[in-house]
Structure 1
Amino acid sequence: MAEREFAPGHIVMPEDDGMVAHLSGLQIPSISLNATDGSTVDLAEGGLTVVYVYPRISPAIGGTLEGWDAIPGARGCTSQSCTFRDHFIELKGVGVKRLFGLSTQSTDYQKEAVERLHLPFPLLSDDSLALSRALELPLFEVGGMTLIKRLTLIIENGRVEHVFYPVFTPERNALDVIAWLSSRKT
């Protein structure tokens, strides 16, 4: 991944490495993903859907992995989830029918995050990497785990309409999505 250093806090900022250029206009394959609300979700179905994809929400106790901040785009999964939570009503107001977070973490692991962060939407697990491999999402390895690089998909009736990548300021991502969806209406 191309990278450059971001001065405040010396966080490494990701640059667009072209790994998602193929996604715009792509029809999502029919793959069932387990959700934290006990349902299974097929992203190929449904109306306007936003899926923010994040590497890994850290546990409440134990914190982040060693060297996590040095990985371009890794830091900010919890703040990104909280911002989508905080702007949930606004997202619905611009037409979003379904909102999900997605990672390779297990559903059981994610359930704790949904409860702790009071998320009004489910998180999806791609722990089998079925969707990641089918869509050729950008992956990376750390601490024996395969994780997805941070990105956000806007899906309309099963087709990728827009991709936010890289997402460097996770806490702004929901606002960027709202702005993009609002501009689409005008």
Structure 2
Amino acid sequence: MSDLNQLPADLPVPEDDGAADHLTGLAAPPVELPDTAGETVRIDALGAGRTVLYVYPLTGRPGTDLPQGWDAIPGARGCTTEACDFRDHHQDLLAAGAGRVFGLSSQDLAYQEEVVERLRLPFAMLSDLTLSLAGALDLPTFEAGGRTLFKRLTLIIRDGVIEHVFYPVFPPNEHARQVLAWLRDNPA
């Protein structure tokens, strides 16, 4: 068991394997997902403007072990610190042109609701139990603990089209600031 709020000093850096190279310019797919605000979000109907959709493997819970070898998998560790970075910079992201921010993983809705409450997140999280977004967009995944999980990436969706992709994401605890810098450098 390790502290979910701290990243190990020797965290392996994920390498760009090209698995997200095809995404920029694609239309957002008609995938519907439940969110922690009690709504159903359709990815191709997010509305005008930019949406930041950060996708991650899984958020650990205090008192619950992570999958075996988790810290050794490049890009796996850091979901809690990433969520906290998006929480801490949420208002800055909105001020820089993001109309909305969502986190997304394959964890169930009750799990996502617990994360929103425990981490005091000011945005909704999406639950994609069947990895339908991965199927629709051919998103990169990996296996851990007997499960298929999303690899960490972030999509900037503007007016129904994927405008920009962050992949691989590292370090996860600074990723919201990377997104913020991109939004400021690329005004809509």
Task: Give structure 1 stretches of 5+ with no counterpart.
Answer: 1-7
Query: Structure 1 CA distance, aligned partners of 2:41 and 2:90?
Result: 19
Deviations 1:87-142 (A, max 9, x none): 01101101111100011111111111110000010110111111111100001111
CA distance in structure 2 between the aligned counterparts of 1:184 and 1:9, rounded to whole angstroms = 32
CA distance in structure 2 between the aligned counterparts of 1:174 and 1:63, rounded to whole angstroms:
26
- 1:184 Cα deviation from its structure 2 partner: 0.8
For 1:10-89, list aligned pairs within 5 A.
Answer: 10-45=10-45, 46=47, 47-89=49-91
Which amino acid counterpart does residue 131 of structure 2 have in structure 1? L
TM-score by length of 1: 0.93
Any idea what SS the aligned residue of 1:75 has? coil
Partner of 2:164: helix, strand, or coil? strand
User: Contact conserved, 1:24 with 1:163, CA < 8 A, in 2?
Assistant: yes
Instruction: Answer whether contact 1:104 1:127 (CA < 8 A) is retained.
Output: yes
- Calculate the aligned-residue CA RMSD, in Å: 1.3
> Is the 2:84–2:121 contact (alpha carbons within 8 Å) kept by the matching residues of 1?
yes
The runs of 4+ residues in structure 1 deviating greater than 6 Å are: none
1:9 Cα offset (Å)? 3.0
Task: Say which SS state the counterpart of residue 51 (structure 1) adopts.
Answer: strand
How far does residue 60 in structure 1 lie from its aligned partner after superposition?
2.2
1:1-186 correspondence to structure 2 within 5 Å: 9-45=9-45, 46=47, 47-185=49-187
CA contact (8 A) 1:126 1:132 kept: no
**Structure 2 unmatched ranges of 5 or more:** 1-7
Identity %: 54
TM-score (norm 2): 0.92
Give the Cα separation in 1 of the matches to 2:26 and 2:132. 16
